[in-house]
Structure 1
Amino acid sequence: MPTMPAVVAAAGAGAPCANVVEDLVGFLRVLSDGTILRSPGPVFCPATFPGEHPSVEWKEAVYDKAKNLHVRMYKPSPAAAAGDGGEQDGRKLPVLVYFHGGGFCLGSCTWANVHSFCLRLAADAGAVVLSAGYRLAPENRLPAAVDDAVGFLHWLREQVVDADCGDGWLAEAADFGRVFVTGDSAGGTIAHHLAVRADSAASNLAGGEPDPITIQGYILLMPFFGGVRRTPSEAECPADVFLNLDLFDRFWRLSLPAGATRDHPMANPFGPDSPALDAVDFRPVLVVAGGLDMLRDRAVDYAQRLSAMGKPVELAEFAGEHHGFFTLGPGSDATGDLIAVVTRFLHDTRVVAAPK
Structure 2
Amino acid sequence: MSTETASSNLDVNPLEYLQVTLNPDRTLNRELFIFPDTSAIPDPTPHAGPVLSKDVPINPSHNTRARIFLPHHRARSGSGEKLPLILYYHGGGFILCSPASNIFHEFCVTLARELSAVVVSVAYRLSPEHRLPAAYDDAVEALHWVKTAQDEWLVDHADLSKCHLMGSSAGGNLAFHVGLHISASHEDLKPLKIRGLILHQPFFGGNQRTPSELRLANNHMLPLAVADLMWELSLPLGVDRDHEYCNLAAYGGSKLWEGVDKMRSLGWRLLVTGCDGDLLIDRQVEMAKLLKEKGLSVVSDFTEGGYHAFEAMEPNKSKPLVLTLKSFMSTTVAGQGAVGPPDGVSTQNAA
TM category, shorter: 0.7 to 0.9
Q: Which residue of 1 aligns with 2:346?
A: none
Paired residues of 2:261 and 2:294 also in contact (CA < 8 A): no
Aligned residues of 1:128 and 1:174 also touching (Cα < 8 A): yes
Determine if the alignment matches structure 1 residue 262 to structure 2 residue 241: yes
SS in 2 for 1:300: helix
Residues 279-317 of structure 1: CA deviation (Å, up to 9, x unaligned): 332410000011111000111111111112221110011
Q: 1-side partners of 2:54 and 2:243: how far apart?
A: 37
Distance 1:261-1:120 versus aligned 2 partners, 3 A rule: same
Q: Distance in 1 between matches of 2:97 and 2:197?
A: 21
Partner of 1:215: 194
The answer on 1:182 being equivalent to 2:174 is: no
- Secondary structure class of the residue paired with 2:263: coil
TM-score (norm 2): 0.82
Segments of 5+ residues of structure 1 without an aligned counterpart are 1-20, 160-165
Cα separation, 1, equivalents of 2:272 and 2:159:
23
How large is the RMSD of aligned CA atoms in angstroms?
Answer: 2.6
Greater helix content: 2
Deviations 1:86-117 (A, max 9, x none): x98x4211100000001000111011121111
> Does the C-alpha gap of structure 1 residues 321 and 200 become closer, same or farther in structure 2, counting only changes over 3 Å?
same
**SS of residue matched to 2:318:** helix
Q: How does 1:114-193 map to 2 (within 5 A)?
A: 114-159=104-149, 166-193=150-177
* 1:206-227 superposed Cα distances (whole Å, 9 cap, x missing partner): xxxx711000000000110111
- Hey, what's the Cα distance between the residues in 2 that align with 1:81 and 1:292? 41
Residue pair 1:42, 1:111 contacting (<8 A) in 2 also: no
Identity of aligned residues (%): 33
The TM-score with structure 1 as length reference comes to 0.81
Confirm or deny: 8 A CA contact 1:182 1:221 kept in the other structure.
Answer: yes
86, 89, 103: which one aligns with 1:113: 103
Name the residue aligned to 1:6.
none
Q: Size of the alignment, in residue pairs?
A: 312
- Structure 1 residues 24, 250: closer, same or farther in 2, change over 3 A? farther
Match of 1:30 in 2: 22
Residue 195 of structure 1 is aligned with which of 179, 195, 204? 179
Of 93-102 and 274-283, deviating more is 274-283
- Are the equivalent residues in 1 in contact too, given 2:27–2:129 (CA < 8 A)? no
| 1:316 partner amino acid | D
SS at match of 1:279: helix
Matched, 1:55 2:50: yes
- 1:67 alignment counterpart: 62
CA distance in 1 between counterparts of 2:75 and 2:25 reads: 53
- Listed as ranges, the gaps of 5+ residues in structure 2 are 1-12, 42-46, 336-351
1:202-241 matches, within 5 Å, as 202=186, 205=188, 211-239=190-218, 241=220
Shift in Å, 1:200: 2.6
